[in-house]
Amino acid sequence: QITACLFDLDGVLVDTAVYHYKAWRDLANSLGIDFTEEDNERLKGVSRVRSLEIILEIGGQTLDQEKMLALCEQKNTEYLKDVAQMTPAEILPGVVDFLKTLKQEGMLIALGSASKNAQLILERTGLLGYFDAIIDGRHVINGKPDPEVFLKGAEALGVQPENCVVFEDAVAGVEAAKNAGMRCVGVGEPETLAMADIVVKDMTEMSVARLRELGQK
């Protein structure tokens, strides 16, 4: 039986990937590295430092720890300029209706995101009030596909992993959910998210009936 839903942020509730891409591309270009939208797919669900490591790998460069932290800081400052302009209009389709339904059904709701800016983004988009617990990049040591972020979410809600459903758009995130022993709804393409129990295009395709079905699986 499903009693709790754990949501990833970027790609599931809002599309911050476009802002991440813009900020990383500018930074990569300043280092003389070409960084395409296709390359950006590799950064989804991945931590900030790991994202920079991937960009440096693409460019065949290495930098010392101190320089890397400075560049992460620089990227985040640019990224936050866009986040500051975010509004509820940027919430992805079906999200608000589905969250409202879950609340009515007495379902517990948590956030499980790699982002250290998650709380701010939820505030800017007016989604914060729906969440009973928030676990994000500030609370975890091991990034997805490690299950830590979702296990901590379940713990904060006081529920067992087998009673949780995770909503994820990134392959590493789906793996993290499965590693946590949870059901997983993939958000995106079935070919890419094959490990998920079901895959939806977006939250307009979700309903309480589908959640219950998932609980029977």
Binding-site residues from annotation for substrate: 8-10, 24, 43-48, 51, 75, 113-117, 144
Q: Is 132 a residue of the active site?
A: no
Q: x/- site string to ligand B16, residues 147 to 186, per CB under 6 A?
A: -----------------------x----------------
Tokens 């839903």 belong to which residue? 5
CA distance 117 to 113: 9
Judged by CB, which is closer to ligand B16: 2, or 17? 17
Q: Rule CB under 6 A: choose which of 25, 47, 99, 102 binds ligand B16.
A: 47
The answer to whether 98 and 123 are in contact (CB under 8 A) is: no
Q: Is 10 a residue of the active site?
A: yes
Residue 41 CA: distances (Å) to CA of 2, 16, 37, 135, 217: 31, 13, 7, 23, 30
Should residue 137 be labelled a site residue for ligand B16 when binding is judged by CB under 6 A? Answer: yes
Pick one of Mg ion, ligand B16, none as the site partner of residue 124 (Cβ within 5 to 8 A by kind).
none
Should residue 4 be labelled a site residue for ligand B16 when binding is judged by CB under 6 A? Answer: no
Least spacing, CB of residue 170 vs ligand B16, in Å: 6
Q: Which of residues 34-53 bind Mg ion (CB under 5 A)?
A: 45
Within a 13 Å sphere around the CA of 196, how many CA atoms are in the beta-carbon half? 24
Least spacing, CB of residue 146 vs Mg ion, in Å: 15
The answer to whether 107 and 3 are in contact (CB under 8 A) is: yes
Q: Which of residues 170-199 bind Mg ion (CB under 5 A)?
A: 170
Q: What is the largest CA-CA distance in the chain?
A: 52
H/E element holding 4? strand 4-7
Encoded tokens for 89: 């209009």
Q: Rule CB under 6 A: choose which of 6, 110, 115, 161 binds ligand B16.
A: 115
Residues of each annotated binding site for Mg(2+) = 8, 10, 168-169
The answer to whether 110 and 6 are in contact (CB under 8 A) is: yes
Query: How far does CA 78 lie from the centroid of its chain?
Result: 20
Instruction: Provide CB contacts within 8 A for 101, sequence distance 6+.
Output: 207, 208
Judged by CB, which is closer to ligand B16: 137, or 181? 137
The set of catalytic residues is 8, 10
Tell me which residues touch ligand B16 (CB under 6 A): 8-11, 20, 43-48, 51, 76, 113-117, 137, 170
